[in-house]
A and B are shown apart, each in its own frame.
Chain A
Amino acid sequence: MRIACPFCGERENGEFTYLGDASPKRPNFAVDGGESPERVEDAFYDYVYLRDNVAGVMREYWYHGGGCRSWLVAERNTVTHEFISVTAAPGAGAASAVRAGE
């Protein structure tokens, strides 16, 4: 399998590590915030454990650890293994970035 790193170009999949679904966003957790502990816990429960088992195109995190050490977001068809797009995580380079999920 070949993955096109947006920084390095097409590379063999052994240079990459798969993490999983890129859809869940880590809930913001304000220590003194108004949200009830139960709601925060439910949100984290969803974030940590609940995943769709997608047959088709899915957004996933991949890490180019054997290369430029960038975290990437790939759209991949889980049925055909075809990569539709690969883009960099918001903080991969040094550009100013806003916090994901905001």
Chain B
Amino acid sequence: MSGYSRSEPLARTAPMEANVRKGVTPASQSHRLPGDGIIDRRLPLQFSFDGKTMTGFAGDTLASALVANGVKLVGRSFKYHRPRGIVTAGSEEPSALVEMRTGARREPNTRATTQELYDGLIANSQNRWPSLRRDFMSINQLFAPIFVAGFYYKTFMWPAKFWESIYEPMIRRAAGLGKSAELPDPDHYDKAWAHCDVLVVGAGPAGLSAALAAGRAGSRVILVEEDTLIGGRLLSDGGEIDGLDAREWLRGAARELVSLPNVRIMTRTALFGVYDGGTYAALERVSDNVAMPDRHQVRQRIWRIVAKRSVVTAGAIERPIVFPGNDRPGVMMASAVRTYVNRFAALPGKRVALFTNNDDGWRTVETIERAGAHIVAVIDPRHEVPAQYQRLVDTYDLRVLAGVVSEVKGGVDGVRSIVVANDKNGLTQRIDTDCLAVSGGWNPNVGLSCFHRGKPTWREDIAAFVPGSAPKGMATAGAANGELSLSACLREGHGAGARAAAECGAAGKPGEASKADDEVYAIAPLWHVKGKGKAFVDFQHDVTASDVTLAQREGFESVEHLKRYTTLGMATDQGKTSNINGLAIMAEATGRTIPETGTTIYRPPYAPVAIGAFAGHHRDENFHATRLTPSHHWAAKQGAVFVDTGLWKRAQWYPRAGEKDWLETVTREVLAVRNGVGFCDVSTLGKVDVRGADAGVFLDRVYINSFSNLAVGKARYGLMLREDGIVYDDGTTSRLAEDHYFLTTTTAKAGPVMQHLEFCRQVLFPELDVQLTSATDQWAQFSIAGPNTRNLLRALADPSEDLTNEGFPFMGAREVKLRGGVTARLFRISFSGEMAFEISVPARYGAAMAENLMIAGKPYGVTPYGTEALGVMRIEKGHVAGPELNGTTTADDLGLGKMMSKKKDFIGRVMAGREALTAPNRQVVVGIKPIDKARRLRSGAHVIPKGAIPGPQTDQGYVTSVCFSPMLDQWIGLGLVERGRERTGEIIRIHDPLRNEDYEAEICSPVFYDPEGVRQRG
């Protein structure tokens, strides 16, 4: 199979050349650069943000388009409603969260940095009222003390009843993120499986190298990339590989990967989970880049990927530095600044200040200067310009300041100036700037390697955690492994890809690794600049450095406690930019090292996944698979009302015009059966073909009664126990031949009983020659009941069939020929207590059988009846069903104790003899009749002695099944009542606190109707 992905990883590489033919940049894009960028200027797109119309280009994200339009303020923060802007250019974005779309498709908390721009896109800022610029709730900042760490636990303690009515609604209105749609999601989602030898996660230089190596070697490779394009940081930082410009190399790598039929590239696909045995989960955003999915297309799709090996090349995330005012719009990660300029040709600021504690941040200088903007200052706490960047200082006449940023000044429109403090001499100076680029170093993406409780290890030289041990079959490479230089990424990725392929048995050659110059990466860790004003650790949850130190002072020193007490890292971004900073500040406060402090446990999902995507196809009528009986469509045509019985749809009753309610319908159906004849589809009963020389012995062991002595042509009621002595299931089993039994189960237990029987056959009694096949779906089975049953059957059956009491006695079972040439199985069994048969024909004749029963029974007023009438008649006859076979009752409780054979071993025999299961005061099945005949008996009501005060001490049982009995013209029921059989005739009290009812009833025999059983034997 060739590679399959709906998205086209290279679709936008062509415009890299095409953008030379520049279109006219609309005026609104005040910060759009004329130069390079991977956007298609021939395709301008219109979009609206907070009702204001703007334009961008194909290839933009919403964030890059906002940057190009000079928008800095994009939202208000969670607790304090502080103005917030765009911080990153990737999926780690903690700040620029917007509400996408409107109406039923409205989706809150969408990261503007990953939302592809499309024509007609509508986005709104969230968590502000009445407008983004004038937000009344920003008054929360004045009440900041009540929103500190643990405020949920401290502030709203008392009185408890205020929680629901006052505190919670108030907090929810004030603090929160976007509003979700209030209508059902009109879009579809699905789930799919994919299989490969080598799964490569992330298509940056390391991932591309890994995929190339494994693909060339001949492995089946899947390369997943959450971005719309492959390339990773190459798209933003460029460089030189194998003597080529990075983008040129990228095009070559892409061409080669696409040419390999064993490589499948899946873009817009974020890996979010690592599960046991090499199973991975990824979310493909199939249609998030359009206003509405194409017809028959899904919005998102979850992939379950089964891979023998995986190479995680998920890169690294640049981390912020925690300093006062670091959340002001216009404060942006340095790598994001470079991405906006180089990839999107959008300029985040014209006078950019750079605050970096590491060499990588210095890359930003050249990007900004070449874009025609200016670096107003570089602030580096290391007091030394890295050697490799010394030339920049001269070229651009850079102002380099040794120190830290200690304050950020500005308004809702963002940064206007910063204050730089020299940490050695304490002097401060103010620098005017409209954008502060920050780099605190890089955190390798260790999450995926830690989902199986792997612990990351600390690497001092890069001041970051790297993967410790990875789940079986997984390797990490490149920046995700702490190797931050391009050359190392290419080398490590290639090596990991080649190794994974070899481990999967690929025999081909992986080729040579691509090469780049080695760069130096040096860093002096800087976590927190102390000063006045809020310094944010977690932008999304508004957790500040002082919240972390407060948590420490209050004793919440463990990182797991810190997380829960402050909610640090618990927002939708899962702390991708904040966790390490938070624990570093905690380490400092407690005087421990960072590795001693440790990380919280990493758990999936790595990226937010919509519940709709998890549900996939399984919603509404497709929530679960359903089963239809062979006469389903016939019954629907008769107007049947269906009820869900497990997965089955069963006809519950067949209403007729003029009937005022279901009770009238059901009563009519019961009377029609008891006075004439009716039929009911009982195909849902589980049916099992039991064959083999030892079939009888086998059934003796699974039933409490004997079946090896059942004559061919006879049926018998059987009861199964669990091994602990409790009743499991019941049903009739017929012997159709010496070595062939036909076993039936209840509808509910058909599946579990089949599994149990297979366990008995394969595990417990493997010495027996017995074979089992489910025949449930093979047969359409109908119960025909009522005094005219025989007349109906005589009309239907071939005249040669003897249906007299002698020719076909009660509990007989055999094949009969029907008129018209069909052979049926006929069983003389009765659930209703009437003269009754069950008849089964191959399922294809099910609908015809229903029609023919109507024809044959017409002279007798034949009436189709549903499960409700079936239930009424079984209660009138005292037959037990699900409510009595409820997992607590013994055979004797059900009045069936005498069936238990003493001559054989059977499942449950020994344990059924235990003292508590044979105690004389057990609750047993009885009949219950209210004294007041007009009173409606309700199931679930308690039984207590007359005159007793209701309570646990006086409770003696409960009502299990109830119905209105047309034969007795009153509500009756079955119940489980202590010593019930000895108490026939006793007046008891029915107590129903749920419905506030209390009345008297009489204990009676459970067989209300025809106790001698004359009718069914007649």
List the interface of chain A (C-beta within 8 A of B): 1-3, 12-13, 17, 19, 26-27, 29-31, 37, 40-41, 44-45, 47-49, 61, 63, 65, 69-71, 80-83, 89-92, 97-100
B307 to chain A, nearest CB (A): 11
- With contacts A1-B277, A2-B278, A48-B724 taken as known, whether A99 is within 8 angstroms of B759 at the C-beta atoms is no
Contact B910 A41, beta carbon cutoff 8 Å: yes
| B141 contacts the other chain (CB 8 A) | no
Closest to A90 in B: B766
Contact for B279 among A2, A31, A71, A82, CB less than 8 A: A2
Contact partners of B762 in chain A: CB under 8 A = 70-71, 89-92
Residues of B720-764 whose CB lies within 8 A of A: 723-724, 751, 755, 758-759, 761-764
Report B543 CB to chain A, min CB distance, Å.
34
8 extra interchain contacts, Cβ-Cβ under 8 A, other than A89-B766, A97-B766?
A: A2-B277, A2-B278, A49-B724, A82-B276, A90-B763, A90-B766, A99-B764, A99-B767
Interface presence of B306 (CB below 8 A): yes
- The docked-state distance in angstroms from the alpha carbon of A48 to that of B914 is 13
Instruction: Tally the A-B contacts, defined by beta carbons under 8 Å.
Output: 87
| Cross-chain contact of B759 among A1, A19, A30, A80 (Cβ < 8 A) | A19
Shortest B452–chain A CB gap in Å is 8
Q: Is the CB of A31 within 8 A of B904?
A: yes
Cβ A63 vs Cβ B755 within 8 A: yes
Please give, as numbers and ranges, the residues of chain B lying within 8 Å of A92 by CB-CB distance: 762
Asked if A29 and B905 sit within 8 Å, CB to CB, the answer is: yes
* Neighbour of A48 across the interface among B723, B751, B766, CB < 8 A: B723
Q: Which 4 A-B pairs have the closest CB atoms?
A: A91-B766, A97-B766, A2-B277, A91-B762
Q: Does A71 contact B306, Cβ atoms closer than 8 Å?
A: no
Residue of B nearest to A70 (CB): B762
Distance (whole angstroms) from the CB of A90 to the closest CB of chain B: 4
Contacts of A65 in B (CB 8 A): 751, 755
**What's the Cα separation between A31 and B278 when bound, in Å?**
50
| Contact partners of B276 in chain A: CB under 8 A | 1-2, 81-82
**Nearest B residue to A91, CB-CB:** B766
Chain B 283-319 near chain A by CB (<8 Å), digits 1 or 0: 0000000000000000000001010000000000000
Chain A hits for B765, CB < 8 A:
91, 99
- Interface flag for B472 (CB, 8 Å): yes
Decide if B913 is an interface residue (CB 8 Å cutoff). Answer: yes
Smallest Cβ-Cβ distance to B759: which chain A residue? A71
Which of these, B304, B767, B909, contacts A98 with CB under 8 Å? B767
C-alpha spacing A31/B701, complex, angstroms: 12
Complex Cα spacing A92 to B763, Å: 8
Is there an interface contact between B723 and A47, defined as CB atoms closer than 8 Å?
yes
| Chain A CB within 8 A of B911 CB | yes
A-B contact pairs, 7 of them (CB 8 A): A2-B278, A13-B277, A40-B910, A41-B914, A49-B724, A63-B759, A89-B763
Supposing A48-B724, A69-B758, A82-B472 touch, asked if A1 and B279 sit within 8 A by C-beta, the answer is yes
B371 to chain A, nearest CB (A): 50
Closest chain B CB from A58 CB (angstroms) = 15
Report chain B residues within 8 Å CB of A37. 913
The closest CB in chain A to the CB of B914 belongs to A41
Question: Are A71 and B905 closer than 8 Å at their CB atoms?
Answer: no
Q: Tell me the nearest residue of chain B to A32, going by C-beta.
A: B903
Distance to closest chain A CB from B694 (angstroms): 11
Kindly list chain B residues whose C-beta atoms are within 8 Å of the C-beta of A2. Answer: 276-279, 306
Closest chain A CB from B72 CB (angstroms): 47
Residue B167 lies at the interface, judged by CB distance under 8 Å to chain A: no
The distance in angstroms between the C-alpha atoms of A30 and B765, with both chains bound, is 14
Assess the B763–A100 pair: CB atoms within 8 A.
yes
Is there an interface contact between B763 and A81, defined as CB atoms closer than 8 Å? no
| Minimum CB–CB distance for B366 against chain A, Å | 48
Q: How far is the CB of B240 from chain A (nearest CB, A)?
A: 43
- Is B662 on the interface with A (CB-CB < 8 A)? no
**Contacts A2-B278, A29-B910 given; does A63 touch B767 at CB 8 Å:** no
Q: Which of B758, B902, B911 contacts A71 (CB 8 A)?
A: B758
Q: Which residues on the B side are within 8 Å of A30 (C-beta)?
A: 905
- Complex Cα distance, B279 from A30, in Å, reads 48
Asked if B845 is at the interface of the complex by the 8 Å CB criterion, the answer is no
Known contacts: A41-B910, A41-B914, A91-B761. The answer to whether A12 contacts B279 by CB under 8 A is yes
A98 engages B766 (CB within 8 Å): yes
Task: Enumerate chain A residues within 8 angstroms of B304, measured Cβ to Cβ.
Answer: 12
Chain B residue, CB-CB nearest to A33: B905
In chain B, what residue has the closest Cβ to A44?
A: B910
A12→B304 CA distance, assembly (Å): 10
> Which residue of A has the minimal Cβ distance to B277?
A2
The interface residues of chain B lying within 8 Å CB-to-CB of A71 are: 758-759, 762-763
Report the separation of the CA atoms of residues A2 and B278 in the bound assembly, to the nearest whole angstrom.
Answer: 8
Rounded to whole angstroms, the CA-CA distance of A92 and B764 in the bound complex is 11
A16 CB to nearest B CB, Å: 11
Q: How far is the CA of A29 from the CA of B909 in the complex (A)?
A: 10
Contact of A1 among B275, B751, B768, B904 (CB under 8 A): B275
Roughly how many angstroms separate A89 CA and B760 CA in the complex, as a whole number? 11
Residue of B nearest to A83 (CB): B277
CA of A81 to CA of B472, assembled, Å = 11
**Contact partners of B472 in chain A: CB under 8 A:** 82
Interface code B840-865, partner A: CB below 8 Å = 1, 0 otherwise? 00000000000000000000000000
Question: Bound complex: CA of A45 vs CA of B759, how far in Å?
Answer: 19
Which residues from chain B contact A100 at a C-beta distance below 8 Å? Answer: 763-764, 766
Chain A residues, CB < 8 A from B768: 91
A63 near B766 (CB under 8 angstroms)? Answer: no
* Among B277, B452, B759, B765, residue most surrounded by chain A Cβ atoms (within 10 Å): B277
Within 8 A of A (CB), among B763-792: 763-768
Give the complex CA separation of A48 and B722 in angstroms.
10
Cβ distance B62 to chain A, nearest Cβ, rounded Å: 37
Residues B767 and A97 in contact, CB atoms below 8 Å apart: yes
In the complex, A80→B904 CA distance in Å? 43
| A48-B758 in contact (CB<8A) | no
> In the complex, what residue of chain B is closest to A1 when comparing beta carbons?
B276
B639 nearest CB across to chain A (Å): 36
Residues of A with C-beta under 8 A to B902? 31
Chain B nearest CB from A15 CB (Å) reads 13
Residues of B within 8 A of A48 (CB): 723-724, 911
- The distance from the CB of B1000 to the nearest CB of chain A, in whole angstroms, is 41
Q: Are B306 and A31 in contact (CB under 8 A)?
A: no
Please measure, in the bound complex, the distance between the C-alpha atom of A88 and the C-alpha atom of B147, giving whole angstroms: 60
Bound Cα distance A41, B275 (Å): 43
In the bound assembly, the distance between CA atoms of A87 and B723 in angstroms comes to 24
A71 to B914 alpha-carbon distance, docked (Å): 30
- Shortest C-beta distance, B556 to chain A (Å), equals 29
B836: min CB distance to chain A, Å: 33
Chain A neighbourhood of B903, CB < 8 A: 31
Given A1-B277, A44-B910, A63-B759, is A26 in contact with B764 using a C-beta cutoff of 8 Å? yes
Assuming the A-B contacts A71-B759, A92-B762, A100-B766, are A81 and B905 also in contact, with contact meaning beta carbons closer than 8 angstroms in the complex?
no
| Bound Cα distance from A40 to B902, whole angstroms | 15
Q: Which residue on A lies nearest to B304, using beta carbons?
A: A12
CB contacts (< 8 Å) of B910 on chain A: these are 27, 29, 40-41, 44
CA–CA, A34 to B721, complex, Å?
25
In the docked arrangement, what's the CA distance between A27 and B907, Å?
A: 11
CA distance in complex: A54, B758 (Å): 26
Contact B766 A41 (CB under 8 A): no
The residues of B that contact A40 with a CB separation of less than 8 Å are 910
Chain B: CB-nearest residue to A102? B767
B residues 863-920 touching A (CB-CB < 8 Å)? 902-905, 909-911, 913-914
CA A17 – CA B751 in complex, angstroms? 12
Q: Which of B304, B758, B768 has the most CB of A within 10 A?
A: B758
User: Which residues of chain B have C-beta atoms less than 8 A from A41's C-beta?
Assistant: 910-911, 913-914
A61 contact set on B, CB distance < 8 A: 759, 763
Q: How far is the CA of A99 from the CA of B768 in the complex (A)?
A: 8
Chain B CB within 10 Å — which of A3, A17, A48 has the most? A48
- B residues within 8 A CB of A97? 766-767
Residues in B with CB closer than 8 Å to A70 are: 762
Q: In the docked arrangement, what's the CA distance between A9 and B759, Å?
A: 21
